[in-house]
């Protein structure tokens, strides 16, 4: 008889799970990464491929991850081992859990550095730093921040400590409380920003850039980036959603909860795009700004907006919170594993993981200044970590999950855990998990390395 509750605790309600999973999904990936990758890859066509990846690969894999987590009720590594054993399958499937723990650790290291930028901008905005800013001044301000390893280190450290503090407190009192109030506020503020960009920005140009596809601008590599972004933004392929699923009560509907999380995540990304591009075009900046995109454009809006000082400060505070609720889900799989297997206390396990991620993060932040001369495939440490995790490790993890649920578990166990009525939705999902998702991931991989 599989366990019905995890030793780490359980969400108090289904809504708490939705909020936590949304908290994990909505983060820097939506507001920082999505706009700049869209900007770098020419807009509309990229967005379309991204949306297709969300629906055809992301949503079905999210359901598969939640289903596995709830069935195994442990950290991703032990969940995979347990479910594989119960299904009479190889212990080798535990590898999926290990890839996830590794990916989470690598993502956290650079995630914390970028979240540090957002923290820095809270104070820049609050102290009136955006007042009277023009496009050039905004770029200079961002550049000056990147050039200072001390400042980056300080913010990176503060963010990592914040993250560890919540995770150390455990599922209910820590994770759940943080998301309940903050997520809705973030959406509200994004809507305010979109309102501003409608009134003051080149709104039509922004909408066209986001939604008018020009497929000639789309390279094979861009398709890989769009798929990677889909995994990254939904927190898929590394066990974060799986471990959250392991704290979900057995009654909740996996399909409905996944749908809600995916819809919320996509909405936030599109709102961020709608807020940013019109402001960018109005300021005469090019969309290909790279990772600095929102840090260069949004201050321009806040510089001119009535009460921009307050809106700017609140916006970056909420961005920090969005990043925070994602970062806690990045360490959770590793922490749960250490608690289960080495009987470490939660506090100690969290400290350990956060410390190592923090160290690697220092390498990432130095790659922005002191070590900027060292590159591999033209990328510094931060870019490499980002590329490797989002575009390779996460889709690889997702691929294994799809194979496991679609091909290795018996359909009977899948059905009994999913508790969907056996109608159209179920058949569609099963088809996507078995065929569409794994084949699509494989083809995108092979194309990116030039094999098909
Ligand atoms: N989904 C988060 C974001 O968009 C990042 C993340 C990735 C979190 C993977 C957990 C796991 O910011």
User: From CA 362, how far away is CA 381, in angstroms rounded?
Assistant: 10
Ligand 1: residue of 28, 29, 387 to mutate (most ligand atoms within 8 A of CB) is: 29
Ligand 1: residue of 104, 107, 326, 387 to mutate (most ligand atoms within 8 A of CB) is: 326
User: From CA 277, how far away is CA 275, in angstroms rounded?
Assistant: 6
Q: Please tell me the residue having the least CA distance from ligand 1 atom 9.
A: 235
Q: How many CB atoms lie within 10 A of CB 255?
A: 20
Q: What is the average per-residue pLDDT within 130-152?
A: 95
Whether 314 shows a pLDDT value over 90: the answer reads no
Whether 447 shows a pLDDT value over 70: the answer reads yes
Whether 216 shows a pLDDT value over 80: the answer reads yes
Closest ligand 1 atom to the C-alpha of 232?
A: 7
- The residue with tokens 């400060």 is 313
Whether 261 shows a pLDDT value over 90: the answer reads yes
Q: How sure is the predictor about 172, in pLDDT bands with cuts at 50, 70 and 90?
A: low
Q: What is the average per-residue pLDDT within 29-36?
A: 97
pLDDT score recorded for residue 8? 80
Ligand 1: residue of 105, 318, 330, 385 to mutate (most ligand atoms within 8 A of CB) is: 330
- What is the CA(30)–ligand 1 centre distance, in A? 9
- What is the CA(232)–ligand 1 centre distance, in A? 5
Please classify residue 200 by burial: count the beta carbons closer than 10 Å to its beta carbon, then call 0-12 exposed, 13-18 middle and 19+ buried.
Answer: middle
- Read off the pLDDT of residues 390-408 as tens digits, 9 standing for 90 and up: 999 999 999 999 999 999 9
Whether 3 shows a pLDDT value over 60: the answer reads no
Ligand 1: residue of 99, 183, 232, 385 to mutate (most ligand atoms within 8 A of CB) is: 232
pLDDT score recorded for residue 79? 95
Q: Which residue has the higher pLDDT, 432 or 185?
A: 432
- Side-chain-side CA neighbours of 297 within 13 Å: the count stands at 31
- What is the CA(228)–ligand 1 centre distance, in A? 11
Q: Please tell me the residue having the least CA distance from ligand 1 atom 10.
A: 235
Whether 233 shows a pLDDT value over 50: the answer reads yes
pLDDT score recorded for residue 180? 72
Counting residues of the chain whose pLDDT is more than 70, the rounded percentage is: 97
- Side-chain-side CA neighbours of 187 within 13 Å: the count stands at 15
* Measured CA distances, 71 to 87, 92, 254, 301, 415 (Å): 12, 18, 12, 47, 12
- What is the CA(387)–ligand 1 centre distance, in A? 14
Q: How far is CA 252 from the centre of its chain?
A: 23
Q: How sure is the predictor about 1, in pLDDT bands with cuts at 50, 70 and 90?
A: very low
pLDDT score recorded for residue 223? 94
Q: Which residue has the higher pLDDT, 349 or 3?
A: 349
Closest ligand 1 atom to the C-alpha of 30?
A: 4
- What is the CA(389)–ligand 1 centre distance, in A? 11
pLDDT score recorded for residue 87? 95
- What is the CA(88)–ligand 1 centre distance, in A? 32
In the structure, which protein residues have their CB atom closer than 6 angstroms to any atom of ligand 1? 24-25, 27-30, 107, 232-233, 235, 238, 240, 326, 329-330
pLDDT score recorded for residue 432? 98
pLDDT score recorded for residue 178? 66
- What is the CA(424)–ligand 1 centre distance, in A? 30
- What is the CA(229)–ligand 1 centre distance, in A? 10
- Residues 276 and 17: beta-carbon distance below 8 Å: no
Whether 176 shows a pLDDT value over 70: the answer reads no
What string of H, E and C letters represents the secondary structure of the chain?
Answer: CCCCCECCECCCCHHHHHHHHHHHHCCHHHHHHHHHHHHHCCCHHHHHHHHHHHHHHHHHHHHHHHHHHHHHCCCHHHHHHHHHHHCCCCHHHHHHHHHHHHHHHHHHHHHHHHHHHHHHHHHHHHCCCCCCCCHHHHHHHHHHHHCCHHHHHHHHHHHHHHHHHHHHCCHHHHHHHHHHHHHHHHHHHHHHHHHHHHHHCCHHHHHHHHHCCCHHHCCHHHHHHHHHHHHHHCCCCCCHHHHHHCCCCCCCCHHHHHHHHHHHHHHHHHHHHHHHHHHHHHCCCCCCCHHHHHHHHHHHHHHHCCCHHHHHHHHHHHHHHHHHHHHHHHHHHHHHHHHHHHCCCHHHHHHHHHHHHHHHHHHHHHCCCCCCCCCECCECHHHHHHHHHHHHHHHHHHHHHHHHHHHHCCHHHHHHHHCCCCCHHHHHHHHHHHHHHHHHHHHHHHHHCCCC
């Amino acid at each position: 008889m599989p366990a019905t509750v995890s030793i780490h605790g359980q969400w108090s309600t289904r809504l708490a799970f939705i909020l936590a999973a949304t908290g994990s999904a909505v983060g820097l990936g939506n507001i920082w990464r999505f706009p700049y990758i869209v900007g770098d890859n020419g807009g509309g066509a990229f967005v379309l491929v991204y949306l297709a990846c969300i629906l055809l690969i992301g949503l079905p894999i999210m359901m598969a991850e939640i289903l596995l987590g709830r069935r195994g009720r442990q950290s991703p590594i032990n969940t995979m081992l347990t479910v594989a054993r119960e299904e009479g399958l190889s212990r080798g499937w535990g590898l999926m859990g290990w890839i996830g723990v590794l990916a989470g650790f690598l993502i956290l290291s650079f995630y914390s550095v970028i979240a540090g930028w957002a923290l820095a901008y809270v104070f820049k905005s609050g102290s009136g730093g955006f007042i009277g800013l023009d496009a050039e001044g905004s770029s200079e301000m961002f550049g000056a921040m990147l050039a200072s390893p001390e400042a980056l280190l300080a913010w990176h450290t503060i963010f990592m400590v914040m993250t560890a503090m919540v995770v150390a407190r455990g599922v209910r009192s820590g994770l759940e409380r943080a998301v309940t109030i903050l997520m809705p506020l973030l959406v509200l503020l994004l809507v305010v920003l979109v309102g501003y960009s409608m009134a003051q920005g080149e709104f039509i140009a922004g909408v066209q850039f986001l939604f008018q596809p020009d497929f000639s601008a789309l390279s094979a590599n861009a398709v890989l980036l769009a798929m990677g972004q889909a995994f990254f933004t939904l927190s898929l392929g590394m066990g974060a959603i799986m471990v959250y699923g392991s704290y979900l009560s057995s009654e909740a509907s996996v399909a409905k909860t996944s749908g809600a999380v995916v819809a919320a995540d996509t909405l936030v990304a599109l709102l961020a795009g709608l807020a940013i591009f019109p402001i960018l075009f109005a300021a005469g900046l090019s969309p290909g700004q790279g990772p600095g995109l929102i840090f260069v454009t949004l201050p321009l809006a806040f510089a001119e907006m009535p009460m921009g000082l307050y809106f700017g400060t609140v916006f970056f505070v909420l961005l920090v919170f969005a990043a925070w609720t994602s970062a806690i889900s990045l360490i959770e799989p590793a922490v749960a594993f250490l608690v289960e297997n080495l009987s470490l206390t939660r506090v100690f396990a969290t400290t350990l993981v956060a410390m190592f991620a923090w160290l690697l993060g220092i390498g990432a932040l130095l790659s922005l200044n002191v070590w900027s001369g060292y590159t591999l495939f033209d990328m510094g440490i931060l870019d490499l970590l980002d590329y490797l995790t989002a575009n390779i490790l996460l889709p690889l993890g997702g691929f294994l999950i799809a194979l496991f649920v679609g091909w290795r578990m018996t359909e009977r166990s899948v059905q009994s855990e999913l508790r969907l009525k056996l109608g159209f939705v179920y058949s569609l999902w099963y088809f996507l998990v078995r065929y569409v998702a794994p084949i699509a991931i494989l083809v995108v991989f092979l194309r990116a390395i030039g094999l098909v």
